Amino acid sequence: MSRQPTIFLSHGAPPLADDPVWTRELADWATALPRPQNILMVSAHWEARPVSISAYRETLPLVYDFWGFPERYYTVTYPAPPAAELADDVVSLLGADEVVADHERGLDHGAYVPLKEMYPDADIPVLQLSLPTLAPAELFALGERLQPLRDSGTLIIGSGFTTHNLRWFNPGNPTDAPAPAPSVEFDQWAAETVAARDVDALLNFEETAPAARAAHPRTEHWAPLYVALGAADSGRGTPTSAIDGFWFGLAKRSWQFD
């Protein structure tokens, strides 16, 4: 069984499915990855404390946690198999007294939008894990506790966005319109800092990163990075920037940690 990497990806809104460049990048990335036995997804769109896991006994309908889009985006399906074994493993690692199962929670768009492009057959069991906090150090520590899952074939995915200021998002512009300077500045800092594995700077990004508050008026879309980073081996190799560039002014940079 192949040891899995961990990844952080920028997941996009539902119209990501209409972007031929980004969808191809996600599909090519998945093809290059070792095929996972199952997927543990940490999405920016589910905050719940204590740590919560999604339904794992049955496949539930998706959570269409967005509004104002054409009707076709609300008919998308992604019937991934339930991930009961992975749920047991997560509970074993974190402790039964620290994990709550939400048996009415399906996958939200931070999970299924990228997965539909990466694994379109929906034949890999998926479990979603909530963000119990936005505190970087706590999320990093959570990722460290989840690291053993990688040896049993679990792909741990942090799904957010490298920059996420929706004031910059203007679907009336081309997808590749020039990005605002703060988005570019934060993206460049992120690329350099992740490549250097400067964990201290990343954990303190609100003080160390340029344009941090502009890039993330609220930090939930940056927070999943810390789970992926904590689950990575801090001493092994250089992280790979698997996808870069901008989408409606937002940095879609995504990383792989082997």
Residue 228: the pLDDT is 97
Residue ranges and CATH numbers for the domains of the chain are 6-257 (3.40.830.10)
Residue 234: the pLDDT is 64
pLDDT at residue 134 tops 70: yes
Residue 235: the pLDDT is 53
Q: What does pTM read for this prediction?
A: 0.96
pLDDT at residue 168 tops 70: yes
Residue 172: the pLDDT is 83
Residue 2: the pLDDT is 78
Torsion of CA 8, 252, 205, 215, to 10 degrees: -140
Torsion of CA 95, 60, 70, 9, to 10 degrees: 30
- Identify the band that residue 247 occupies on the pLDDT scale cut at 50, 70 and 90: very high
Q: Based on the number of CB atoms within 10 Å of its own CB, is 98 exposed (0-12), middle (13-18) or buried (19 or more)?
A: middle
pLDDT average, residue stretch 188-206:
96
Residue 171: the pLDDT is 81
- Mean residue pLDDT of the chain comes to 95
- Identify the band that residue 211 occupies on the pLDDT scale cut at 50, 70 and 90: very high
**Cα–Cα distance for residue pair 22/33, rounded to 1 Å:** 17
Q: Which residues of 190-202 are buried (b: 16+ CB within 10 A; e: fewer)?
A: bbebbeebebebb
- Identify the band that residue 67 occupies on the pLDDT scale cut at 50, 70 and 90: confident
Task: Look up tokens 């209409």; give the residue.
Answer: 18
Residue 236: the pLDDT is 63
Residue 198: the pLDDT is 95
pLDDT average, residue stretch 180-206:
97
- Identify the band that residue 212 occupies on the pLDDT scale cut at 50, 70 and 90: very high
- Identify the band that residue 118 occupies on the pLDDT scale cut at 50, 70 and 90: very high
53 DSSP β-pair partners: 101, 129
pLDDT average, residue stretch 90-96:
98
pLDDT at residue 90 tops 90: yes
Long-range contacts of 142-145 (CB under 8 A, 24+ apart): 142/51, 142/94, 142/226, 142/227, 142/230, 143/6, 143/226, 143/227, 143/228, 143/229, 143/230, 143/231, 143/232, 144/230, 144/231, 145/93, 145/94, 145/230
